[in-house]
Amino acid sequence: MPMANIQGSLPAPRYTCGTVAPRTPLDAAAVRRDFPILRRDVRGRPLVYLDNAATTQKPQRVIDRLVRYYSDENANVHRGVHLLSAEATDACDAARERVRQFLNAADAREIVWVRGTTEAINLVAETWGRARVGAGDEIVVSEMEHHSNILPWQALCEEKGARLRVVPVTDTGELRLDACTELLGSRTRLVAVPHVSNALGTINPVEELVRLAHERSIPVLLDGAQAVAHMPVDLQAIGCDFYAFSAHKVFGPTGIGVLYARASLLDEMRPYQRGGGTIRSVSFEETLYADAPGRFEAGTPHIAGIVGLAAAIEYLTDLGIAQVAAYEQELLAAATAALSEVPGLRLIGTAPHKAGILSFAIDDIHPHDVGTILDRSGVAIRAGHHCCQPLMARFGVPATARASLACYNTREDVQALAAALRTVRTVFA
């Protein structure tokens, strides 16, 4: 069906991005002061950190929280009889509630601790997927997936004799909703797509996608790795069934992340790993497993990570996520304008609704060379396929250079990036 017909019949997409006008603009200079690492030099130049899509820096408040946990509070959870254990358990419970509020999930039991986005998606594929996907079924992903949202589904399809279907993206880097609609059929068991593309910056119309899928009773998993630090995420408004993110991309520690899953789905899912913390009772004849989320959290959790994530979310909430989103949109506009002035630079990913991610190529200079030259000026960007090899193939490039913004970046950072980029061609002249 032609794209215009389908899109004409749909309401205008709504984007869960910084569309709320904040009352007080973000003071980025003050935000910077909260991040000690931003005071350091790199190769004799002040650090300009523009690799936030890979990982974000940590504010002093999160660092202090980790130190306090290990200095004053360290104990194992699961309700030991002594005070420290009770306090650690309470801190983890409070953190779960904090994440629930942050995502506006309906119930804290829907928040499962995992190592990160990658583990969250693997958990869903290994438990829900193995039970629900059979021979001849289909899983719909998109051309803009991170490998973490391809490989678990590809392996499941191979095992079950199911088929991976792929929604193409347009030349600007938007999901083809018309093609997506056509792919959704009676054999589709799941739609799994990113909220925000890590390589293009595209903010997908997730509410619209969920509506299209749910009309056909198809659940939706959203990879939220690149969304949660940059825009308000309201899971009840979006209506998705699974949502995954990593703490380290939202100013928290590495090694901890969140799987949100609708309670009715968690109830039907078998444990992912088995061990302490997951059970109601054990005998050599039979084990009865606990309800969610405990059933999915085998072994000692990453307690410091959990309390560190809660501190990161509190920090971001105090800044104001709407303020952060609005500020980053302004900075993205400034960065896009600055990069468009750099001779030979071609942006890859020019969707109208984007988060602060700028992927680009300069002439046919290899992106690794671009990254290395920028590093000499203290400008940290990423170069590579960004774990998106199919997307790179779609755009006919082996790799891109990528600058990615966060709320502590400033116009001076953008100017430093543009200035360093202007030197790249001269090196190869």
Interaction of residue 16 with ligand PLP, rule CB under 6 A: no
| Beta carbon of residue 55, minimum distance to ligand PLP (angstroms, whole number) | 8
How many residues bind ligand PLP (CB under 6 A)? The answer is 13
Q: Which of 122, 181, 246, 329 binds ligand PLP (CB under 6 A)?
A: 246
Interaction of residue 56 with ligand PLP, rule CB under 6 A: no
Interaction of residue 175 with ligand PLP, rule CB under 6 A: no
x/- map, 177-196, ligand PLP, by CB under 6 A = -----------------x--
Stretch touching ligand PLP by CB under 6 A, among 28-36, 220-228, 355-363, 393-401: 220-228
Stretch touching ligand PLP by CB under 6 A, among 110-118, 131-139, 177-185, 326-334: 110-118
Q: Which of 126, 223, 241, 328 binds ligand PLP (CB under 6 A)?
A: 223
| Beta carbon of residue 148, minimum distance to ligand PLP (angstroms, whole number) | 4
Residue closer to ligand PLP (CB basis): 117 or 410: 117
Interaction of residue 354 with ligand PLP, rule CB under 6 A: no
Catalytic residue numbers? 387
Stretch touching ligand PLP by CB under 6 A, among 19-27, 44-52, 143-151, 413-421: 143-151
CA distance 402 to 169: 19
Non-local (6+) Cβ contacts of 186 within 8 A are none
| Beta carbon of residue 198, minimum distance to ligand PLP (angstroms, whole number) | 3
Residue closer to ligand PLP (CB basis): 152 or 320: 152
Interaction of residue 225 with ligand PLP, rule CB under 6 A: yes
CA distance 103 to 258: 11
What are the residues binding ligand PLP (CB under 6 A)? Answer: 53, 116-118, 146, 148-149, 194, 198, 223, 225-226, 246
